[in-house]
Structure 1
Amino acid sequence: MISGLATLIALCLIWSILSLDMSRIRSTVVSKESTQVALDDASKNTTTLVLYAYSESQTARPNIEFFIRDALNSAADFVFIFNGPTNVSTIIPDLPNIRIKFIILNASLRGPFMPSWSGDCWMNMYLRKLTEEVKLVGMTANCWPTFHVQSMIWATDSIGLSTLLFPPQHALDYLDQNPIPYRYSNTIHQPLGINACFHTWDSAVASEVYATSVIKAAGYKVDVLMAVVWETGWWKTNRDLEDGELKMQTAWIGRRGYSSWEFCRA
């Protein structure tokens, strides 16, 4: 759950961007120190936006290097969000699509680790689960303190994102009458949803926990890839995993030569 902190803090940097006409957004890098947002001509095509939140650490650096090598493709626009000092922007390719369904993920994950039998794009694993009813898709769910989709990677669409940023009044009324159980509820005073800056671990975790309830209270459903701990496409690298297993998995995928440029086409 703590891994969602970087994503949730980073969301406060981009909420004003997302409130614009999303079909006009084409961004290269969003940083705390410098924000470069270029507006392009409006397009009627539906484009996936992938948001990658990064904070410099020994585990995050190899993860973003792996992502740049194996996950970038021409079928989506990518926005990299840098939290704190880092020189990682020097390895981000200068491509026009490194900027409407949305994927939001952070650097606590390494992947994509696609099975050898799959000819699918890693993004489709998540995006195909979005429907008229399902508006939030993730890798895993946690049942404490209540069922919620964990925030290290989320997929949603314009309705889902709008619901998280600006929860409808009927959802707020329902949650007011049916409060979400959380140990810090009495000490955290923030609006429901993700339209805020989260300055503490507790407030970020609370927002992650509440997000699923906001989606469901608005009348929609959520879904996750996890049936068991495998086949989610990504590994959490800050949970004391066996380092040898992670290195072998990384090497195997590298030798396979999987390239998102080949499997994810516009």
Structure 2
Amino acid sequence: MGQKTSISIDKKMLRNIGIAVAVLLVAWCAYAIFLNTNVPDDVPEYYSTEPESWIRHDIDYEQVNESVIDIEKATQGRSSADEIHQRYAVHEGIVGFYYYGAYKGETFQTAYVPEGIYNQSLELPHDEAEELLEDHIRMRISNVMHPGDGVIEGIIVARLEGVELSFHVFVDEDWKKQVKDTNIIIGENLQYEDSLSTQMFRYDQHKDGVYFQEVKGEMSWFRTNPRRAGVVVGNLTAHLVADENIQGKTVMVLR
């Protein structure tokens, strides 16, 4: 789970993401054709443009309160997400946005667990290993959050309306307490500082222990250069993003 901070790790992860995108496009080809004929022109009243309405309170199987970001509702029924990426139906087919992150400089795909705990889990039966890992998660990228449980949680949701692309950042109460001084950094090339813009996360909009904020993007970034464009959220600067320096930083990325 936990990994040492290095630029090579980030590049290897990006190569793996590129391979996964290619496989995904093939696997979803037939599904994309179906979705192309079903992209709604008239949006039902159920689909709201207000981010607050996308957050719903729920209770999980262990009777624990949770806040769920309804991605289907946020994207007018055109998108869904799993643990590693968000799939978006557009007229040209499927656009895939991938997630990864870092906890205090150590990279992860969906959830961060200390390396020692992860290694210990390898020696246990499956059920015991899963329980051990779940008990020691420090950070998770997910649309299901448990504010106040000590685990940093957040997600970035891409939303396309007409030709306008926006990204909605959601972080929980634990993120606010532990990360602080969070910036949203966005651009067509995360390796080129002059192409990046920075917006401070204000924590002024919230519901059920989840804070949210919108930032505008350009769909052309992801069509022409999908492996370089992206959104980075965390306690770092555009200079550090372009320099691929996440040492000691806590971030989540969509690209």
Is the TM-score greater than 0.5? Answer: no
**Normalising TM by the smaller chain, what interval?**
under 0.3
TM, length-normalised to structure 1: 0.26
Q: Specify which structure has the bigger relative contact order, considering alpha-carbon pairs within 8 angstroms and separated by 6 or more residues.
A: 1
Which one has the bigger helix percentage? 1
